[in-house]
Amino acid sequence: MPRSRTPRPRKWLATTIAAAALAVPAMAACSDPAAPQEDPQSNLSAFYDQDVEWGPCATDTGTSTASDCAMVTVPLDYSAPDGKTIEVAISRVASTDPAQRRGILLTNPGGPGGRGLGLPEILNAGMTPEVAAAYDVIGMDTRGLGKSTPIDCGVEQMTWMRSPGTTEEGWNESVALAREAADTCWDKYPDYLPHINTQNIARDLDVIRGALDQEKASYFRVVVRHISWCDLCANVPRQDRPCGSRQRTGPEEIRLRDVPGHGPGQ
């Protein structure tokens, strides 16, 4: 279990979207707000209250000296928090003006499968001075990737970024390669792989928020398709505001200038 701070009263996640994926349609309501909601932190206090020790980032993380890095311990299986744990690597580009700091901006590189420790520096380079002063920008290698407790299936050829073409032969080849990759990975990680999923990454984000001693967090994601507002609502429920709504606390939160690789049409 992680080393814990002195326990303190906590609130559930009250996340605001700082800049949901650019050029992505608005999301519909995600869940029934009248449905019973349980405290996501019950039996998880050691994870939410753990100490985070910042230090220099490793050289192969896509970061510079502008970033600090740390490890956050999370349950492998959130339904068994006393069981096996793994680590999630996070990074931070600190607010440029602590007096103007409003909180943290959690980020997710999307992909799926993209490493994200270097994303805060990319975003920070395109922020207005007001936004750069307002937030510590937090990056992460999502569970299973990079500096987090990794999965390496040994797969040397994948096809998900390429079309199988227009022939039945090409389609069958693509299906066979995908099946071979899935079987290889499952055989190597039968206990780990079932827990590398969107739901648990959303829960990891909330543990990171808690470990950084924040009652609220803003959130930036890059898609193809990854952690959405719906995912956060469904997996980190709270009673203060119905899921299915999105809230911004100020227009300055989305005033990003052109960010390389993340602008409209990219």
Q: What is the pLDDT of residues 166-223, one digit of tens each?
A: 899 988 988 888 888 889 999 999 999 999 998 999 999 999 999 999 999 998 877 6
Q: What is the mean pLDDT of residues 215-235?
A: 65
- Both structure tokens of 238: 């709270």
Residue 191 is given by DSSP the state: T
As given in the structure block, the two tokens for residue 142 are: 């999502």
Query: What pLDDT sits at residue 156?
Result: 76
φ, ψ of residue 138 in degrees (nearest 5): -110, 125
pLDDT of residue 174: 85
> How would DSSP label each residue in 3-46?
-B---------EEEEEE--TT-PPPPP-S-TTS----TTTT-HH
Q: How confident is the model at residue 161 (pLDDT cuts 50, 70, 90)?
A: low
Q: 7-21, 137-151, 170-184, 216-230 — which one is most confidently predicted on average?
A: 137-151
Can you say how many angstroms the Cα of residue 164 is from the centroid of all Cα atoms in its chain?
A: 30
Q: 240: pLDDT confidence band, cut at 50, 70 and 90? A: very low
Choice between 105 and 236, residue whose per-residue pLDDT is larger = 105
pLDDT at position 11 is: 44
Give CA 65 to chain center in angstroms. Answer: 22
Tell me what pLDDT residue 42 has: 59
Q: What is the mean pLDDT of the chain?
A: 76
- Residue ranges per domain, the chain? 14-151+196-254, 152-188
**pLDDT for position 177:** 86
Stronger pLDDT, 40 or 59, i.e. the higher one: 59
Q: Cβ(51)–Cβ(5) under 8 Å? A: yes
Report pLDDT for 110: 78
Identify the band that residue 160 occupies on the pLDDT scale cut at 50, 70 and 90.
Answer: low
pTM, two decimal places: 0.72
Which tokens go with 161?
Answer: 């970024």
Task: Please state the rounded mean pLDDT for residues 36-43.
Answer: 55
What pLDDT is attached to residue 165? 82
Selected residue with higher pLDDT from 193 and 230:
193
Question: Residue 225, Cβ neighbours under 10 Å: how many?
Answer: 12
